[in-house]
């Protein structure tokens, strides 16, 4: 495990480093076609792939420029791992980051993603002292668009067929928020 870890808390959630025991829950929700549809892995997502991914995360130090750092989202009430969120401080600009997020379908619609992403943004602006955080999503990914708007991110651009994704050229929506908008 990396000597530097992040542990964040909200009223209902804990955002923490991944553990080996997360592999089953992680492989299960990553294998869900609705979860994988707009994300960059193929399904089924095996337990072995989950174990390898989790092991690779444990070697990482959070905040390395250009490297995604993934946090597990755990329900405080039950200890269940229900999703993940991630950030990547840009390789060419240490004051900006990109974020991503996933919540297992059975736990969607309860505001957990809003709570986790709000907590992640607070960490990035207050602890990492970033200037700007961005996120991108497919224009058909309505739940993600609603979430990004709900946490206060602005739609800044709609790129047309700008990404080669799962054998198609797809559009990208880019959202962002600045530190002085967050305060
Ligand atoms: C994007 C994603 C994380 C959003 O999850 P979500 O559960 O819809 O988002 P939230 O946790 O913020 O929940 C919001 C919903 O819960 C409802 N809700 C219930 N209790 C709530 C509470 N206490 N606080 C806030 N919202 C609450 C809201 O009204 C909202 O419902 P609505 O969508 O009908 O308007 C989820 O759809 C997902 O994992 N998708 C697959 C992965 C993916 O595509 N990730 C993004 C790649 S860009």
Atom of ligand 1 nearest to the CA of 102: 39
Question: What pLDDT is attached to residue 16?
Answer: 97
Give all strands of the β-sheet with 81-89 in edge-to-edge order. 8-9, 13-16, 68-75, 81-89, 96-103, 132-137, 168-178, 154-165
Question: What pLDDT is attached to residue 140?
Answer: 97
Domain residue extents for the chain: 8-182
91-120: buried (b, 16+ CB within 10 Å) or exposed (e) per residue? Answer: eeeeebbbbbbbbbeeebeeebbbbbbbbb
Atom of ligand 1 nearest to the CA of 38: 44
- Closest Cα to atom 30 of ligand 1: 109
Over residues 8-47, the pLDDT tens digits come to: 999 999 999 999 999 999 999 999 999 999 999 999 999 9
Question: What pLDDT is attached to residue 183?
Answer: 82
Indicate if ligand 1 lies below 6 Å from the C-beta of 112.
yes
Helix ranges restricted to H, 3-139: 23-30, 33-36, 47-58, 112-122
CA dist 32 and 165 (Å) reads: 18
Over residues 142-169, the pLDDT tens digits come to: 999 999 999 999 999 999 999 999 999 9
CA dist 99 and 157 (Å) reads: 16
Site of tokens 């989950």: 50
- Closest Cα to atom 48 of ligand 1: 137
Chain mean position to CA 95? 18
Whether 6 has a pLDDT exceeding 70, the answer reads yes
CATH class of 8-182: alpha beta
Question: What pLDDT is attached to residue 5?
Answer: 87
Over residues 73-126, the pLDDT tens digits come to: 999 999 999 999 999 999 999 999 999 999 999 999 999 999 999 999 999 999
- Rounded to the nearest angstrom, the distance between the alpha carbon of 115 and the centre of ligand 1 is 10
- Rounded to the nearest angstrom, the distance between the alpha carbon of 117 and the centre of ligand 1 is 10
Query: Is 95 within 8 Å of 130 (Cβ atoms)?
Result: yes
Question: Which of 108, 134, 163, 175 for mutating ligand 1's site (highest number of atoms within 8 Å of CB)?
Answer: 108
Atom of ligand 1 nearest to the CA of 147: 12
Site of tokens 């990553």: 30
- Among the listed residues 36, 18, 136, 131, the one whose alpha carbon sits nearest the alpha carbon of residue 81: 18
pLDDT-derived band at 1, boundaries 50, 70, 90: low
Question: Taking residues 50-62, what's their average pLDDT?
Answer: 94
- Rounded to the nearest angstrom, the distance between the alpha carbon of 147 and the centre of ligand 1 is 6
CA dist 98 and 174 (Å) reads: 10
Question: What pLDDT is attached to residue 80?
Answer: 98
Over residues 126-137, the pLDDT tens digits come to: 999 999 999 999
Indicate if ligand 1 lies below 6 Å from the C-beta of 137.
yes
- Closest Cα to atom 32 of ligand 1: 109
pLDDT-derived band at 2, boundaries 50, 70, 90: low
Beta partners for residue 89, in sequence order = 97
């Amino acid at each position: 495990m990396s000597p530097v870890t992040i542990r964040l808390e909200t009223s209902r959630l804990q955002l923490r480093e991944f553990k080996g025991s997360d592999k089953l829950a992680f492989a299960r929700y990553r294998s869900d076609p609705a979860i994988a549809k707009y994300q960059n892995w193929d399904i089924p997502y095996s337990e072995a792939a989950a174990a390898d991914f989790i092991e690779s995360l444990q070697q990482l130090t959070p905040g390395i420029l250009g490297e995604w750092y993934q946090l597990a989202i755990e329900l405080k009430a039950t200890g269940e791992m229900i999703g993940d969120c991630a950030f990547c401080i840009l390789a060419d600009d240490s004051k900006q980051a990109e974020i991503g997020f996933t919540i297992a379908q059975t736990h969607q619609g309860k505001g957990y993603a809003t709570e986790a992403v709000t907590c992640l943004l607070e960490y990035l602006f207050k602890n990492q002292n970033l200037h700007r955080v961005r996120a991108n999503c497919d224009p058909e990914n309505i739940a993600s668009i609603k979430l990004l708007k709900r946490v206060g991110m602005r739609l800044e651009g709609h790129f047309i067929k700008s990404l080669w994704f799962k054998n198609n050229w797809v559009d990208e929506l880019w959202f962002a928020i600045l530190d002085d908008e967050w305060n």
